[in-house]
Amino acid sequence: MTDTPVLHVDMDAFYASVATRDRPELHDVPVIVGGGHRGVVLSANYLAREYGVRSGMPSARARRLCPQAVTVSPEHEVFGTVSAAVVETFRRITPVVEVVSIDEAFLDVRGSVRRWGSPVEIAERIRATVHDEQGITCSVGVAASISVAKLASRRAKPDGVVVVPPEEVTTFLHPLDVGELYGVGEKTRAMLHRLGLVTVGDVAHTPLRTLQRAVGHAVGSHLHELAWGLDRREVVAKQTPVFGIGGGADPEKSMGAQQTFSRDVDDREVVLREMLALTGTVSRRMRVAEVAGRTVTITVRFADFTTLTRSRTMPEATDVTQDLYRTAVGLFDALGLQRARLRLVGVRVEGLVPRESVHRQALLGEREHGWSDADRAVDRAARRFGNAAVRPASLLG
């Protein structure tokens, strides 16, 4: 069931999808994001790509290729917000999420199958959740290794899932152009083509020593492993991913999670159980990142898509689940909702600071020390047995 534990999730035409998701008049026309009069294309939807428009292309050339395309301005803050929300969706499934760019990430789900089902079922759940909560689509590759999962997600585009079981890896890889191998750039591809190594199968069946003499010892060994699907790299959880454009190293200033109900909910107890689960997810991420926060924000979205947010700042920063949850419950009850039908609920902790900078007594008073120890015991169990190994009694079943 876990012979393909690595997922590569790639948003479909991310910038274009986000830029047009609330503009139905653009859903069936070619769209270019960015560019301007003398700029370059940031992204293009699939209709524009059919005309040869690609990201990084000068906008003048893009207009010549597709003069009927509609050009829209990028909204970088919106892109970052959507990216962060998508990553939170991933982290509801597994804590082992490696964000590699604003629109793609690797997930290791081997510790999540008890709760969420097989890796394929997890992939389908992710696609459905991203579409429902963010209004965009993604494609997922499922495999035993990072490099094969990456290639599988390309084959899944747009809006699909491709699974490559271990016994089918060579059948999947060997017909591909060698330039498709993860990490092989244009220069390496051109060099390999000059040597007559056009397909991945050509590389795989070249004796290793011959390959090493041609391209160097390290590169030759790496290419040989990739060609046989023997990439041994592990997915590495990144605690402070960047969601901006162009990079940066600022840590996250907030962490949150949200959940869309399978059907609209008007039962307070059901809502509070979901808020407890979300608060546990957020506090666990905070402890992994060794941060604490003072401000709790909740989000509720009604059946008609009206959305409300409420925040409260606590006297001291904390990473204790029960402290954060009590604050979230107080915020929810203060809304005074009388059987209102809710579509979505979310919990976010803001104003994060390094946990070591918080006075220990403020975090770990006599009663809080017990809850803090309980949280960390649960964290240890989750790392070993998966997120669902230990849960509050109210969340069982």
Task: List, as residue ranges, the binding site for Mg(2+).
Answer: 10, 103
Distance from the Cα of residue 133 to its chain's centroid: 13
C-alpha–C-alpha distance, residues 377 and 383, integer Å = 10
C-alpha–C-alpha distance, residues 300 and 51, integer Å = 42
Give the angle 18-289-382 at the CA atoms, nearest 5°: 95
Q: Which amino acid is at 341?
A: R
269 sits in the region (left: phi over 0; alpha: psi -120 to 50; else beta) called alpha
- Sheet with 70-72, strands from edge to edge, namely 41-44, 31-34, 70-72
The residue to which tokens 């696609």 are assigned: 127
Instruction: Kindly give the pairing relationship between strand 138-143 and strand 161-163.
Output: parallel
Contact at 8 Å (CB) between 285 and 292?
A: no
Nearest to 306 by CA among 272, 335, 269, 348: 335
Q: Choose the catalytic residue: 104, 252, 274, 368.
A: 104
* Known active-site residue 50: no
Contact at 8 Å (CB) between 59 and 41?
A: yes
183 sits in the region (left: phi over 0; alpha: psi -120 to 50; else beta) called left
The annotation places the binding site at 10, 103
- What number of other Cβ atoms are within 10 A of residue 36's Cβ? 11
Strand ranges (E), the chain? 6-11, 31-34, 41-44, 70-72, 97-101, 104-108, 138-143, 161-163, 254-265, 291-302, 307-318, 342-350, 353-354
- Residue 82 corresponds to which tokens in the numbers above? 């959507």
* Cis peptide preceding 74, ω within 30 of 0: no
C-alpha–C-alpha distance, residues 330 and 17, integer Å = 36
The residues annotated with a catalytic role in the active site are 104
